[in-house]
Amino acid sequence: MSKNIPAGILATGKALPVGKITNYDLENIVDTSNDWIVERTGIRERRIMTGDESASGLSTRAAVIALERAGLTSAEIDMIIVATVTPDQTLPSAACLVQDKLGAFNASAFDLVAGCTGFLYGLDVAVRYINSGAARHVLLVGVDTLSPIVDWQDRNTCVLFGDGAGAVVLGRVEEGRGVLASKMYSDGSKANLLYIPAGGSTRPATHKTVEGRGHFIKMNGPEVFKFAVTVMVDSINEVLALAGHKATELDLLAPHQANLRIINFACKRLKMKPEQVLINIHRYGNMSSAAIPVVLDEAIEEGKLKAGDLIGLVSFGAGLTWGAAVVRW
Ligand code: ACO
């Protein structure tokens, strides 16, 4: 069997909508308070699409930055994966719109739906394509524009989510660097913990589904919370073992940004210092698939993530899905 080609992230980029909603703004929309939101979630504000912004538009902006930093042209991209649950429209994929906007005429393009774990699922796929030699450069975008599918009358969910995009360009790296191991998981028996009842092929849009608010996210927050704290720790430990490392060897952790209490719990169980854990949830809320690439991009810009660091990436989301990866930066 031929040896795997080592694959890793060559460059990152991000794009965030200009519109911002603070917790104080939300106090005027639903029965909530800044204190409740900060204490129970760690979120202070989130970005919201306005005007002609779109999932494919934000993705393209993030991708252009990542490509430029990688020193590549769009023609050098073999595959575009857009991890999202909120493409511009159901057909065609957001990835094809991005492919067109970038002029990436040598790339295949598809969307990947795995809830908030979408970025890590995409990383897992991209790395294996590069490992096998089937692709040389893959553009992976994590984008979610949740504001149109959040029920702004439901205080249990509307305070949590935000819009944004993060892009990475993956390619060959030197031996011992890049993505050392990754593993994805799912449990569809928990599908009803986080879902949108209508708008799919079993309950297409009708007056009744619209009046019943069936096109918005429904979530059982406490059950997702319990699930998240367990799988975050277990999956990072499992993937560390696959890579031949231990949690104590991690320099940094880039966790999904869904709730600061979930992150703090995982950080404590993994015996990591708070300064080793990348956090930006206070600024953006839960951006679903965009959370990890955006927090990575900011860590690089802030000089927190340096060449040679061992970093763990871990996420969970609708499906339910979850997964982790270990990267030697
Ligand atoms: N403001 C004020 N009070 C609120 C709000 C709010 N925004 N939301 C809920 N409450 C109230 C509830 O009504 C409840 O009141 P009651 O006791 O009178 O019934 C009380 O606060 C406690 O509610 P809980 O739901 O038990 O609160 P909890 O501490 O569990 O926090 C939260 C709720 C923040 C949703 C938490 O459960 C959570 O973060 N869960 C995980 C969610 C998550 O990670 N989702 C993303 C998955 S990823 C993806 O794919 C999108």
Structure confidence by residue, pLDDT tens digits, 64-107: 999 999 999 999 999 999 999 999 999 999 999 999 999 999 99
Which residue, 141, 175, 209, sits at the end of a domain? 175
Residue 41 CA: nearest ligand 1 atom is 34
State whether the beta carbon of 40 lies less than 6 angstroms from ligand 1: yes
Contact status, residue 146 vs residue 163, Cβ threshold 8 Å: yes
Contact status, residue 161 vs residue 288, Cβ threshold 8 Å: yes
The two three-digit tokens of residue 145, written as one number: 């524009």
Q: Alpha-carbon distance 22 to 284, whole Å?
A: 10
pLDDT band for 243, please (50, 70, 90 cuts).
Answer: very high
Residue 256 CA: nearest ligand 1 atom is 48
Residue-wise pLDDT for 96-148, tens only, equals 999 999 999 999 999 999 999 999 999 999 999 999 999 999 999 999 999 99
Question: For 97, how many CA atoms within 13 A lie in the half-sphere containing its CB?
Answer: 19
State whether the beta carbon of 258 lies less than 6 angstroms from ligand 1: yes
What is the structure's pLDDT at 3?
A: 82
Residue 285: inside a domain, yes or no?
A: yes
pLDDT at 2 over 80: no
Q: Ligand 1 atom 26: the closest Cα is on which residue?
A: 222
Q: In this structure, which amino acid lies at residue 118?
A: G
State whether the beta carbon of 281 lies less than 6 angstroms from ligand 1: no
* Average confidence score pLDDT of the chain: 97
CATH number at residue 294: 3.40.47.10
Q: Are residues 32 and 126 in the same domain?
A: yes
State whether the beta carbon of 255 lies less than 6 angstroms from ligand 1: no
State whether the beta carbon of 122 lies less than 6 angstroms from ligand 1: no
Q: Are residues 93 and 130 in the same domain?
A: yes
Q: Are residues 37 and 153 in the same domain?
A: yes
Rounded mean pLDDT, 197-224: 96
State whether the beta carbon of 218 lies less than 6 angstroms from ligand 1: no
Q: Give the bridge partners for 170, in sequence order.
A: 9, 138
Residue 1: inside a domain, yes or no?
A: no
State whether the beta carbon of 36 lies less than 6 angstroms from ligand 1: yes
What is the structure's pLDDT at 57?
A: 98
Of 76, 135, 136, 80, nearest in space to 108 by CA: 80
Residue 144 CA: nearest ligand 1 atom is 51
Which residue, 146, 175, 204, sits at the end of a domain? 175
Residues serving a catalytic function are 116, 256, 286
pLDDT at 1 over 80: no
Residue 242: inside a domain, yes or no?
A: yes
Q: Are residues 320 and 272 in the same domain?
A: yes
pLDDT at 8 over 80: yes
Q: Alpha-carbon distance 8 to 4, whole Å?
A: 12
Q: Are residues 171 and 185 in the same domain?
A: no
Q: Are residues 111 and 26 in the same domain?
A: yes
Q: Ligand 1 atom 24: the closest Cα is on which residue?
A: 222
Contact status, residue 239 vs residue 324, Cβ threshold 8 Å: yes
What is the structure's pLDDT at 67?
A: 98
Tell me, in angstroms, the distance from the centre of ligand 1 to residue 93's CA.
32
Which residue, 130, 153, 175, sits at the end of a domain? 175
Residue-wise pLDDT for 162-184, tens only, equals 999 999 999 999 999 999 999 99
Tell me, in angstroms, the distance from the centre of ligand 1 to residue 228's CA.
14
Tell me, in angstroms, the distance from the centre of ligand 1 to residue 158's CA.
10
Contact status, residue 303 vs residue 64, Cβ threshold 8 Å: no
pLDDT at 55 over 80: yes
Q: Count Cβ atoms within 10 A of the Cβ of residue 163 and give its class: 0-12 exposed, 13-18 middle, 19 or more buried.
A: buried
What is the structure's pLDDT at 283?
A: 98
Q: Alpha-carbon distance 14 to 169, whole Å?
A: 12
252-255, strands of its sheet edge to edge? 178-186, 321-328, 310-317, 252-255
Q: Are residues 192 and 311 in the same domain?
A: yes
Q: Are residues 169 and 203 in the same domain?
A: no
Q: Are residues 60 and 184 in the same domain?
A: no
Residue 158 CA: nearest ligand 1 atom is 7
State whether the beta carbon of 225 lies less than 6 angstroms from ligand 1: yes
Min mean pLDDT across 2-6, 15-19, 37-41, 188-192 is at: 2-6
How many structural domains comprise the chain?
2
Measured between its terminal Cα atoms, the distance across the chain in Å is: 27
Contact status, residue 142 vs residue 120, Cβ threshold 8 Å: no
Residue 2: inside a domain, yes or no?
A: no
The two three-digit tokens of residue 205, written as one number: 């849009």
- Residue 323: which domain range? 180-328
Q: Are residues 154 and 244 in the same domain?
A: no
The two three-digit tokens of residue 61, written as one number: 């902006």
Q: Ligand 1 atom 1: the closest Cα is on which residue?
A: 32
Q: Are residues 153 and 12 in the same domain?
A: yes
Measured over all CA atoms, what is the biggest interatomic distance in the chain, rounded to whole angstroms?
Answer: 62
Q: Alpha-carbon distance 107 to 95, whole Å?
A: 10
The structure tokens 């080592």 sit at 6
Q: Are residues 188 and 125 in the same domain?
A: no
